[in-house]
Amino acid sequence: MKIAMIGTGYVGLVSGVCFSDFGHAVCCVDRDPAKIEMLEAGRLPIYEPGLEDLLARNVEAGRLSFTTSLTDAVDGADAIFIAVGTPTRRGDGHADLTYVMSAAEEIAKALTGYAVVVTKSTVPVGTNRKVAEVMRAANPEAAFDVASNPEFLREGAAIDDFMRPDRVVVGVETARAGEVMSDIYRPLYLRDFPIMVTDLESAEMIKYAANAFLATKITFINEIAALCERVGADVKNVSKGIGMDGRIGNKFLHAGPGYGGSCFPKDTAALARIGQEHAIPMQIVETVMRVNEGVKTRMIEKLRDLCDDSFNGRTVAVLGVTFKPNTDDMRAAPSLTIVPALVGGGAHVRVVDPEGRREGEALLPGVHWCEDPYEAAKGADLIVLMTEWNEFRALDLRRIATGMATPRMADLRNIYDRDDVIGAGFEAYEAVGR
């Protein structure tokens, strides 16, 4: 199959590279010449474990190419994937479909034969039908079908998620479109990974419902964690106990400083807006959004208590600022709320993150970047574990404590055991829900 991938952001680039590894001929398109030059040189604009090697292998095999010309990529393509950004629109919380519709119009004008136009971007219900309308208006003679193929990629584990998915969801209207999509995903079908074929609206809704449910699980356990702190329970034991129930499951039940990233904040806001527009308020989702913001505020108060009620003049070492480990993504990361509160309160903030500095320098002004945790902690009054990178899971706690001015730790990811931390020389330790 010949595939055009419009957009080389996180979803588009990972999907394009993985499709090429299936054996398809993939051309990835982006308007940014600098990004295309970078990709042609074998360098990535994002951090994702394993992606650089996979890209190099498929470029060398001649299956993967990059261009700024949408017309060239679309020419002769069997399927054209739209994988552009759908950020939250200012003012109303809805997904901004400007880039999606612009791509649809360009695709229609560039089509030279039949193709399936596949929306990979996360879009509100009804968007694929609007894509078809835009394309027909732009080129009434164009031969195409539309399809919805939402992504379910976890940053930091995206390649494995693509190659070994829980399911592939495909929304189509015609048998012909279904056959094209089946051919594209044939390598997964042959290995018995489930491929669910449904209508356009259901495919669109599945994506939003899945992310909203996962965000709800995270927020639920964070509320339980707050209650655990008051009643003397341990949220790690509570999470384990309820997670053993097969109806609940143990994933996304880890208490912390709140969810962030490119999907959950944007998709919960969009789903809430869709509900409002159709007079079916998403009351649970709206509450999840509000509670998640409150979790971050609670973390700030936890840190303030460890600083004797004032950040002013304190030196605070923050370990990890990306929204999760194994990514450089800073979008809606809890650190973007918590670190500015420290700086605004007069703290001297030192930051360590294995991959976050490239984006973080612009997003977190007023902090000092360090190369390792020991440098950051030297002379500090408080150390904050914000993101659970593997590099922070086996620290020499005694060395950290010895080098600090006042050895205090806020473990916002519940990585360590209180007895171990206090035994290593820390005078205070605070976790979440314990």
| Parallel, antiparallel or unpaired: strands 382-385 and 408-411 | parallel
CA angle 368, 46, 7 (to 5 degrees): 140
Say how far apart CA 431 and CA 134 lie, in whole Å.
Answer: 52
One-letter amino acid at 284 equals I
Q: Are the C-beta atoms of residues 255 and 221 closer than 8 Å to each other?
A: yes
* C-alpha angle 42-118-200 in degrees, rounded to nearest 5: 145
Other CB atoms within a 10 A radius of the CB of residue 300 amount to 19
- Assigned token pair, 201: 């609206």
Active-site residue flag, 263: yes
Indicate which residue of 228, 263, 307, 370 is catalytic.
Answer: 263
**How many CB atoms sit inside 10 A of residue 45's CB?**
17
- CA distances 267 to 3, 123, 196, 241, 288, Å, are 27, 9, 21, 29, 12
CA distance 406 to 379: 8
Token pair for 209: 């419902």
Asked whether the CA dihedral 384, 389, 393, 395 is positive or negative, the reply is negative
Q: Would you state the structure tokens that stand for residue 184, as one six-digit string?
A: 């594209």
First to last CA, the chain: 53
Hey, what are 272's tokens?
Answer: 């809430």
Cα 145 to chain center, whole Å? 29
CA distances from 15 to 27, 134, 163 (A): 11, 25, 10
Q: Which helix (H) or strand (E) element contains residue 231?
A: helix 200-231
Neighbours of 104 (CB within 10 A): 30
Q: Which of 66, 134, 74 is nearest to 98 (CA)?
A: 134
Question: Is 311 within 8 Å of 346 (Cβ atoms)?
Answer: yes
Cα–Cα distance measured from residue 154 to residue 120, given in angstroms and rounded to the nearest whole number: 15
Q: What residues act catalytically?
A: 263
